[in-house]
Chains A and B, each alone.
Chain A
């Protein structure tokens, strides 16, 4: 070992290629790297307590039959088979999927349409923004309560109007379709503004010259939307679709408040069914298996959505 390499090995501690003293250099780097763990640790601890440990508890429950805190039997994957086989669960799954599909089909185009119609500059921008954002500021359970009363056939403004002014028989406490429509309209009212605001932000980021160029080319309003605005909205719409899918697939509070899952099972979505099993019947084993499957479904569908949306149109 020459003096030269020694010197460079000392000075350039961050050069692992130096063959002179590889062990010491690597040890040096390791010691330095380890300090970063202290920065990550708070996150690891908080994620462990808020996500990993609760999830592991659920995994633990899902493979046992719990009779009492001291009496448990290991049952393997029995609860998972049961969760998949139970017709009640399958129906709730189809119901939830249908609801999410309808939510996306209505809210995404409607949100984009509202965003396109919103003013681009001037005094009315702030007015429009406040009006559109209003439903987003209301807590979920309050939204539920508002609609529970609003849609009532006897004293609710909406329900009464439909019955007595439009002359259509409407009662969400008795009719399954009416209950479904009430929940859907409520979700559209509550969450379309989110899509509209995201889309509006996306539209605002399009430089003015694009619209001028389209004008010069004599492009129609539809062509401008199709070839300038829509391609430029890809990013925000991907986020909007993912958010709205996840939220609507896990919808709980609003139908719980408005219909409680009824009439019958008409609005028993997966989350409502799950809480009945877990909290109502205290069957933590089946509920654990159910939630893990639920969790996986959301993960897989989001992955599929994300992949499709980011790949298409390339």
Chain B
């Protein structure tokens, strides 16, 4: 089973929502990750056939389906909102797509409904109506409805975004197991990089309606090729500091470190620093030293998020393990190992060292 998007563009009200998307998806799970307004939902809707693209082609199993109505395609869709038929019981909701499928009749429908309900852990709720379910149960019903009928293309558009934290973790683990034996192409979109990293599936990074990068998500996390990819896959958000190249070194806020690649003096660069790479205690020589004022300390229980104000009004967030007392207003020094700093050029491309021995260390 293959789903191919070939040069797909969507323009609405003078804005470009999708810009020349070309993707080739095969059986199994593919994750689409991107910030809000990246075009994830539009991409899903085009892939489903709910929205005809303004240009480009959509092919399923080698057959051009661009102009074919969604009714005639073999797709299932799970929405961010919990979409179920309000007047039908959970059982009937799950059965509804099967009733129109000639492959299922009588007992077959009943068996399949119970099987999927069992799988999603809602077997005890079959007689209830959606209004009598919790949010997590409603979304489980919606997913069960999508899984019931074997389809060529299963689309899930941020299905866990409206659930609370614990339910999300639970359902995420269940979904990963379920996608493993889905018969067709599964496309899963999310704004949460942790979700993409957990699924560890082939990943498409989407930004501003364009494919920023595709590949293995862990690889992209460790070696982000562009600023957009690094920012999309960082949660908490990537710290960005401006720098300038001077004599083979990069200067940033009064301090400097060797540039990963020779660049002409005077070039502006952008430094990307993941919050968990910032230290408050000196741990070894060679670290970049950034004097800072503590603005706010957020203690989450297992970690502390320290909001720092640097020279020139720049902000830096440090993700420190454990809980430690900090007093807002106090001065401190933030240390960052240059090996953990991503350097991006003006266009947002990553400056990598020319030597094969990569400077970055994993994590």
Contacts and interface: CB of A to CB of B under 8 A. Distances in A.
Interface of A: 207, 209-210, 212-213, 215-219, 226-228, 230-232, 313
B76 interface: yes
Nearest to A206: B86
B81 A228 contact: no
B83 A217 contact: no
Most chain B beta-carbon contacts within 10 A, residue among A209, A219, A226: A209
B70 interface: yes
A120 to B, nearest CB: 15
Contacts of B83: 207, 209-210, 213
Interface residues of B, number: 19
B48 interface: yes
B77 interface: yes
Tell me whether chain A's interface is mostly helix, strand or loop, or mixed.
helix
B87 interface: yes
B77 to A, nearest CB: 5
A296 to B, nearest CB: 35
B87 A216 contact: no
Interface in B24-50: 45, 48, 50
Given A207-B81, A209-B79, A216 B86 contact: no
Contact of A212 (B50, B85, B86, B88): B50
Given A215-B70, A216-B70, A216-B71, 20 more contacts: A207-B83, A209-B79, A209-B81, A210-B83, A213-B79, A213-B83, A215-B69, A216-B48, A216-B76, A216-B77, A217-B96, A217-B100, A218-B71, A218-B97, A219-B100, A227-B85, A227-B86, A227-B88, A228-B86, A231-B87
The 3 closest A-B pairs by CB, nearest first: A231-B87, A231-B86, A209-B79
A313 B132 CA distance: 13
B75 interface: yes
A251 B88 CA distance: 39
A232 B70 contact: no
Contact of A215 (B71, B81, B85, B88): B71
8 contacts: A207-B83, A209-B79, A212-B48, A215-B71, A216-B71, A217-B96, A227-B86, A227-B88
Interface in B121-168: none
A226 B45 CA distance: 25
Contacts of A207: 81, 83
Given A215-B70, A215-B71, A217-B97, A228 B77 contact: no
A216 B75 contact: yes
A215 B75 CA distance: 11
A286 to B, nearest CB: 49
Contacts of B87: 226-227, 230-231, 313
Interface in B76-102: 76-77, 79, 81, 83, 85-88, 96-97, 100
